[in-house]
Structure formats: C-alpha cells, structure tokens
Amino acid sequence: MGTTLSTSRPRPGRPRSRVRLVTIGLAAAILAVPSAVAAADDAGAPQAPGDSLRAIAAREGLRIGTAVDMAKLGTDTAYTSVVADQFSVVTPENVMKWDAVEPTRGTYDWQAADRLVSFAEQHDQLVRGHTLMWHNQLPGWLTSGVADGSIGTAELRDILHQHVTDEVGHFRGRIWQWDVANEVFANSWDSHPLADGVNGDDFWVQHLGEGVIADVFRWAHQADPKALLMYNDYNITGEDGTNAKFQAVYDFVKRLRAQGVPIDGIGEQGHLDTQYGFDPQTFQADLQAFGDLGLKVAVTEADVRTFVSGTGADEVPTDQLAAFAQPYEFSAMLTGCRLVRQCISFTAWGVDDGDSWIPNTFSGEGYGLLYDARLRPKQAYFALRQDLLLGLSAHRTDG
C-alpha cells in the first residue's frame, strides 16, 4: 500500500527543484556569513546547516532559540547536534532556577549553568537567563523558612536581593536577556488579583508587596547593566480569550518605564493548546503594543500542545485536525513575532516531544514541539523553515 502510493504519485518535480535552487542559493549566501557555518564546524555537525532555522533567520536579524535540558546536552550526541545546528539562542530549561543554583543556603552550584553558557559561546549562540524571581522551583530551605516563620519579611527581601545580585553578577556580560520576573500577573481564574492585575497570591508579591517587582529589575540592572531585562509571562497576548492580562501587564510596564525602572522587554511565553483556539491578530497587535512602548519583545517558551494517544515516539494527536493546527499555530506565532520590528528572538520550550514538560504537566497532552521523540523534524519545523525562507527576499529590507 505504501509502496503503491509512493510510486504512483507523480513527484512535484518543479516546485522541488525551485526549493532546491533557493536552498542552494541560500547556502551560498550563508557561506559568506561566518557565524552560522562556524557554529556547525565547532560542533562537528555532519551536515552543513545552511538551511537551518538559525542560519535562515540570521539573514533577517532574528534569533531562533530552544530551551536546553542539561541532562542531555553534551551526553546525547544527536540532541546536542540539533541544539548547535538549529538554534542561535539557548535558555536553560531548569539549571538557572533558584533550586538548582542554591540547593543549600549559601552554597552555590553553577556547574550546569556554566556548562550551558560555555557551550553557547563556543557555538556562537546567545543566552536567555531564566529566571530570577518566580514562585516555582524555589529551594526548600527558603520556602520552609518562610512557612515556619524563621525567615521574616526583611530577611526574605535581603535574600532575594542577594540572589539576584549573585546570580546576575556570576554571569555578568554573558547573558543577552534575563527573565527577571516570571509569571506575577493574575490569570482570569486566579482568585486574588490586585487592583492593577498583579497576582496577590504570588509568593513574592504576597510576602514582599508588589513594589518588589520594580526592585528586582533595579537589582538586576546594578549587577549587569548591559543585559536586557525582561518581564516574562503566559497568556499575555490574548490567549485566554480576553485581553485583560495583556492590558494589566501593558499598563504596569508603562508605569514602570515612566518611573525609570530598567525594564527592557517583554517575554511572551507562547504556551498554546490546540483545544483553545488562537488569534494571531491579537497576538501580533499585543506584541506590537509592547514594542510601541519602546520595549523589545521575544517569544520565549513556544510550544503547541494537543491531546495525544501513545507516548514517546508513538505519540499521535487524537484529533486529526490537531496535526494541522499544531504547525499552524507555531507558524502564526513566528509570523507575529517577525512582523513586529521589536521582536528579537523566538524560542521553543525544548527540542523534541520526548523531552518536553507537557506530558508531565497537562494530562493526556503532548506533541508540542518541533521534533518528535526520535529527533525527526515535524511539520511544525518545516512550517517555520518555509516561513523563514519565504520571508528572505521581502522581509526587513531595512535590516
């Protein structure tokens, strides 16, 4: 059956050769750009990545990124090659979070994070530091100290200040963008939003008051004046059906900017789910509104999940249309970013479906990334690559 289909179907000869020509022309053009090729050489990658996402996007000054799992980088060869070849910016998925860098109070462990930063430098990649102030993945000594009252408010504030100063200071000059504050705004389902939309139940806001948000930006700026300091969150570009969370973040950062707080940009995480629908116009308009405030914007944690049957390499969307919605929504997010001049990077939250946070977090869901569990590029990967190729001639002619 499979053989019959593949032999009886005429091959689309002309479009293929046209694509090949574009690719060859592009590869030739890329050869003139040392960074992209040097990266592949350093990694000892088998194939020249002239048609890689990073190389094509570099032509328009856009960085394509991935979150990196440090349990695999350097040990899993295929995984490591994909990270080196396809991406020009990397985010540590976990190893810069507080519980990872300071598991015991006063004793830092920078090993895994240092390894990622060195890898990035060797492969001509930039680094998104993630993340300084977040309610999750805090070390046990801190949360239990707060819970049992042994760490009071003044001390907690000092601890946070020290954490930001030490971590940003440790990587000073080597981080492109820092996610300084992460997920402090209330969602439509949260029960205690403050008047301006900040989540009153957020660990940091609850204990230190919302003024701490401006303070972490000030502290981070003191520790590394050159890093781009971002506020990072999800559902801030219309994803939950209303634009209320966007509006709250917009009004808030506008105020911070007016007060001279050193905030440089907004990270829209981009965790989509095919069951909820997606409005590319709102996504783009909201990114643009942030851009018009004089901020940079970035898509920082893109994935598009859907319900699946099977696991690992056998994972398939249960709804056939989801196999089309998944690459479409990925593509629409990339397009939204590219149409906003201030959008500087587009990062997927992981490389492959075998190594994604989705199945552990959203029961019955998966299929969210650009590669399958065997590290084969999926339709979403090809959709992004085609988008980037298509834009080569027309896009950002001023860049």
Q: Based on CB atoms, which residue is closest to ligand XIL, 182 or 342?
A: 182
Q: Does the active-site annotation cover 167?
A: no
Distance between CA atoms of residues 45 and 78, nearest Å: 9
3-state SS assignment for residue 132 = strand
Instruction: Tell me the site size for ligand XIL, rule CB under 6 A.
Output: 6
Q: Which residue is nearest to ligand XIL (CB)?
A: 357
For the bound state, the minimum distance from the C-beta of residue 136 to ligand XIL, rounded and expressed in Å, comes to: 6
DSSP string, 50-109: GGSHHHHHHTTT-EEEEEE-TTTTTTSHHHHHHHHHH-SEEEESSTTSHHHH-SBTTB--
Are 181 and 152 within 8 A, CB to CB?
no
Q: Is 273 in the site for ligand XIL (CB under 6 A)?
A: no
DSSP string, 185-220: BPPTT-S-B-TTSBBTTSHHHHHH-THHHHHHHHHH
Q: Which residues pair with 398 in a beta bridge?
A: none
Q: Based on CB atoms, which residue is closest to ligand XIL, 85 or 301?
A: 301
> Could you give the string, one character per residue 178-197, with x where binding to ligand XIL holds by CB under 6 A and - elsewhere?
----x---------------
Q: Which residues pair with 178 in a beta bridge?
A: 129, 229
Q: Based on CB atoms, which residue is closest to ligand XIL, 50 or 270?
A: 270
Report the site for ligand XIL in 338-367 (rule: CB under 6 A). Answer: 357
Catalytically annotated residue among 167, 183, 210, 329: 183
| Measured CA distances, 356 to 5, 129, 302 (Å) | 34, 19, 11
Report the site for ligand XIL in 291-310 (rule: CB under 6 A). Answer: 301
Q: Based on CB atoms, which residue is closest to ligand XIL, 52 or 182?
A: 182
Residues 6 or more apart whose CB falls under 8 angstroms from that of 62 comprise 337, 338, 343, 344, 345, 346
Q: Which residues pair with 126 in a beta bridge?
A: 89
Element (H, E) at 272: strand 271-273
| Measured CA distances, 214 to 180, 211, 218, 221 (Å) | 10, 6, 6, 11
For the bound state, the minimum distance from the C-beta of residue 1 to ligand XIL, rounded and expressed in Å, comes to: 39
Catalytically annotated residue among 102, 210, 301, 365: 301
For the bound state, the minimum distance from the C-beta of residue 94 to ligand XIL, rounded and expressed in Å, comes to: 5
Are 256 and 217 within 8 A, CB to CB?
yes
For the bound state, the minimum distance from the C-beta of residue 52 to ligand XIL, rounded and expressed in Å, comes to: 23
Q: Based on CB atoms, which residue is closest to ligand XIL, 94 or 282?
A: 94
Tally Cβ neighbours within 10 Å of residue 314. 10
Q: Does the active-site annotation cover 301?
A: yes
Q: Based on CB atoms, which residue is closest to ligand XIL, 135 or 395?
A: 135
Report the site for ligand XIL in 91-110 (rule: CB under 6 A). Answer: 93-94
If phi > 0 it is left, if psi is from -120 to 50 it is alpha, else beta; for residue 64 that is: beta
For the bound state, the minimum distance from the C-beta of residue 55 to ligand XIL, rounded and expressed in Å, comes to: 26
For the bound state, the minimum distance from the C-beta of residue 308 to ligand XIL, rounded and expressed in Å, comes to: 18
Residues that bind ligand XIL (CB under 6 A): 93-94, 182, 269, 301, 357
- Residues recognised as catalytic: 183, 301
